[in-house]
Structure 1
Amino acid sequence: MNKQHQMKSSLLLLLTACIWGFAFVAQREGMLHTGPFTFNAVRFALGAVSLIPLILLLDKRSGQSAKEIGVSAKKAAVSGFWVGLILFCGASLQQIGLVHTTAGKAAFITGLYIVIVPFLGLFLKQRLNVNSVAGAIAAVIGLYMLCVKSNLTLGEGDLYELIGAFFWSAHILIIDKLSRRTDVLKLSFFQIVTSSVLSFIVAAATEKIDVSGLTQAIVPLLYGGVCSVGIAYTLQIVGQKNAQPTQAAIIMSMETVFAVIGGYFILGELLTTRGIFGCLLMLVGMIVPQLPQIRKRAGAGSTIDGARN
């Protein structure tokens, strides 16, 4: 993997982080007008539609036969379905959580996926290093300062975001595996379609789908659909294709910074002094696993140092 490809991947992933960070603001704003599942259903549908022209154009330019394109689409559809299930769970928990917490806090808690991934890697028989443990400790202390109340409980929205972080961790790991052997645009399309369909089903069963509410939320929906879903999820897959999971994770964790900036300037959200220190500790916890190993044993096996949706 050459440095030029790595640099391109890093820039794509940083742009992804920026789009996702401000998407927390759009998603929270959208909750003022419609339910979380309805919002996700529509934004994912918009994201899927935005990808169709690009997929058709690239298929036309690829020089592949109709049969080859069909085989590629079928393979991406199967992979996209399973990735879409994970995406649906993570996005649903995130959206519900945003009803009860701020955009900045939601982003920082979601960013814990970078700490969770190394521990999930243990199930894949990948060694856990000292950096990951140190990062996890700092992140947990930061989470406590940011979110835990005086009665030692997490707020409802914060708890949803925390559970969702585990699904974003799984999403990063599975994307890393599948993006290297699947058409990335088609994979992105089918994961988005899966999440949209599932969201529509749940919305129809649990929420009132109000057209007037959707109209009032049109700007957040367009940003959340076309930019956050159609563009950013695709950039994630393309960027991860030439990046290590750890590299992708640390860059995409910058979404937390962009979310806090957006929450402050657009929504007027403020953090307490305790919350600010909590955020700083969580950032430390996200960065430490990506630094040179504190202790490295010769002949050690495969290691995941860290790695989102």
Structure 2
Amino acid sequence: MRKQKRFIQRKAFLWVLIFTITLIWGYAWVMMKASLNFMGPFTYSSFRFGTGTITMFIILFIFKIGFPDKKYWKHLFINGLLQTAAVFLLVMFAMKFVDAGKSSVLLYSMPIWSSFLAVKFLGEKLNLPKFVGLLLGLIGLIFIVGWDLFMISDLNVIIGELLIISAAICWAFANIYYRIHLIELPQIQVSTIQMFFGTVIIILFTIQNEWGEPIIFNLESIYYILFTGIFASALCFTVWFIIISKIDIATATISTLLVPVFGLLFSSLLLGEKLTPGILSGSLLIITGIIIATKKKRSIKKRLEDTANSESPKL
């Protein structure tokens, strides 16, 4: 009875952590948008990920996690280029024109692109449920972009949305590259080093494109940098890696769909962004599609795990 109670308490605690992390990530989209009132998008990204990288190195030191072997550094650089630099340079520039809530939904279409790329580069099969899920997700993207194309007709908004979709594809490529070249390394180690390389690229890009542009430092702008750098970028990722070591990846993937939901909610409440029929219907289709595609994957993986467990000696 005690073991069962502890198990339930531990599971409940994990879900509280998941809810808290996704809540912070959703809220971070409001800060990302609001930060543009005080500095350029690339400048903000430099401060944010510079702060996040320093925090991650401190975490590595605290947990006594060393650096990876030099043979991995090239792959970590490429992963940092894709996952940190490309994704957030594209997203932050696009957010000059695209609402925060909508941006979060478009970026979290990443599982759709990851599934397509996994077929090409990892040899995974595109079964019927996964195909239906991906099709729904793509239709959802068309709803969001198409609504703005016909109802708003603002070329900057359309280009911004396409840039964020491109960022989601970069993120998907980073996931595939990680699976091929870096899967054997501790995830927190990968996250730290790739973030370091990505931050260096962002800083160089900032110097080239925004050097000399005005920066307003006050309590509000510093709060945005520290919160998104320390909590959203460093601490939440660290806790997230601990969580996914305790639950299956499919459940973790589905739970991240709370991020765009919170992103839309906070952006509407705090920034006054309008939730158009295109955004609502498109978001629902994307989230439903990812759940359908991931649920099937989860059931297959669960059966494989059960088989492996039944054949493995219990220690």
- Given the two structures, how large is their TM-score scaled by the length of structure 1? 0.80
2:204 to 192, 201, 204: 201
Q: Aligned pair 1:49/2:49, yes or no?
A: no
Unpaired stretches in structure 1, ≥5 consecutive residues: 60-68, 297-309
1:273 to 273, 277, 293: 277
2:43 to 38, 44, 50: 38
Instruction: Name the SS of the counterpart of 2:37 in structure 1.
Output: coil
Paired AA for residue 204 in structure 1: I
Query: Aligned ranges for residues 37-116 of structure 1 at < 5 Å?
Result: 37-59=42-64, 72=68, 74=70, 77=73, 79-87=75-83, 88-116=85-113
Unpaired stretches in structure 2, ≥5 consecutive residues: 1-6, 301-315
Determine the C-alpha separation between the residues in 1 that align with 2:161 and 2:93.
Answer: 10
Relative distance call for 1:289 and 1:21 in structure 2 (3 A) is same
Q: Aligned pair 1:169/2:162, yes or no?
A: no
Instruction: Name the SS of the counterpart of 1:94 in structure 2.
Output: helix
2:224 to 210, 220, 226: 220
More helix by share: 2
Relative distance call for 1:81 and 1:158 in structure 2 (3 A) is same
Aligned alpha-carbon RMSD (Å): 3.2
Determine the C-alpha separation between the residues in 1 that align with 2:182 and 2:126.
Answer: 24
Q: Aligned pair 1:129/2:127, yes or no?
A: yes
Paired AA for residue 129 in structure 1: N
The number of aligned residues is 286
Q: Aligned pair 1:24/2:29, yes or no?
A: yes
Moved more, 33-42 or 234-243: 234-243
Instruction: Name the SS of the counterpart of 1:31 in structure 2.
Output: helix
Determine the C-alpha separation between the residues in 1 that align with 2:130 and 2:29.
Answer: 27
C-alpha deviation, 1:144, in angstroms: 2.1
Structure 1 match to 2:136: 138
Identity %: 21
Determine the C-alpha separation between the residues in 1 that align with 2:20 and 2:113.
Answer: 23
Moved more, 159-168 or 77-86: 77-86
C-alpha deviation, 1:232, in angstroms: 2.5
- Given the two structures, how large is their TM-score scaled by the length of structure 2? 0.79
